[in-house]
Amino acid sequence: MNYTKAEILQSIEQTMRTLKLGGLAKEWRNVAYSDNEQYMRDLLEIEVREREANRMARMIKQAGFRVIKTIDNFVWKPTIEIPETINRKDIETAAFVEKKENLVLMGVQGTGKTHLATAIALNLCEQGRHTRFYTAKGLANILQEKYQRGTLTSFMASLRKVELLVLDEVGFITVHKEASELLFQIISECYEQKSLIITSNLEFSQWNTVFGNDMLTAAMIDRLIHHSHILVFSGHSHRLEESLKCQRSGHSTKGTELLDHASGKGGDKA
């Protein structure tokens, strides 16, 4: 049977997809031919790039980011206090993960804590390393659901493969007793085994209002801060600042009052 050139090309690409060579199937026709060695090398490089891109996409999806934020778009404001135990480069490149150390990003809401935590974790994903991102509320709900369904053990096993676990928004909700105990178990298992990034709008002295049990909260904080670098975020909410810029015309006084109130400078003082 004689095949047309179009049929032969279609057959070649179908065979590539059958062999899971998706990158080749999309790009092989664009590869210039000089000699056999060069041609084969260029074809293989296409497939390697495709598989690496697909693997990175899977890792980013598995991480569970709510939004994608990058280091390039993060602004290191003077109101961010960095301890002497770490520098910006080691934070941005997640060098602390190699040492199984933690970051605690603490301070005013809307000052970039979640952005920085997300960007660091994304950086690790792009290096082909496993991360997970949860809000405290989200992870608490997952843990309770897994516990009730009897699948907690397998979920905990999946977290052991992770190099960095981000726990965002500690302090936004009160956690029930059962969930507090399960979160404590997570943090205990991470201790000196993997790195954590915690973001919170509360000082440690206020965490007992979230977890309810003073002894459990103290034990959790003790494990968390032993190998931690604590960054303090102060100043105005950048989201509020951006919103006010859009409304600045004709509302400058009102905008200033709103900004002061959000940062605790305005209103009645106790």
- Per residue in 39-95, pLDDT tens? 999 999 999 988 888 888 898 999 999 999 999 999 999 999 999 999 999 999 999
Q: What is the pTM of this model?
A: 0.76
Rounded distance between C-alpha atoms, residue 87 and residue 102, angstroms: 14
Whether residue 148 is predicted with pLDDT greater than 60 in this model: the reply is yes
> Quick one: pLDDT band at residue 258, thresholds 50, 70, 90?
very low
Q: Where are the domains of the chain?
A: 64-233, 236-270
CA atoms within 13 A on the CB side of 247: 14
* Strand 80-81 with 228-233, pairing: antiparallel
pLDDT the model gives residue 254: 44
pLDDT at 38: 94
pLDDT score for 255: 44
Give the side-chain half-sphere CA count within 13 A for 124.
28
Q: What is the pLDDT of residue 256?
A: 46
Percent of the chain at pLDDT > 90 equals 53
CB burial string 47-80: b at 16+ within 10 A, e below: beebeeeeeeeebbeebebeeebebeebeeeeeb
pLDDT band at 252 (very low <50, low <70, confident <90, very high): very low
HEC-encoded secondary structure of 217-242:
HHHHHHHHHCCEEEEEECCCCHHHHH
pLDDT value of position 249: 55
Q: What is the CATH code of the structural domain delimited by 64-233?
A: 3.40.50.300
Report, as an integer, the average pLDDT of 4-19: 88
Q: pLDDT higher for 135 or 254?
A: 135
Q: Which of 134-148, 202-216, 256-270 has the least mean pLDDT?
A: 256-270
- pLDDT interval class at 177 (50, 70, 90): confident
Q: How far apart are CA 200 and CA 105, in angstroms?
A: 6
* 8 Å CB contact between 79 and 233: yes
Share of the chain above pLDDT 70, in %: 87
Looking at residue 238, what is its pLDDT?
Answer: 59
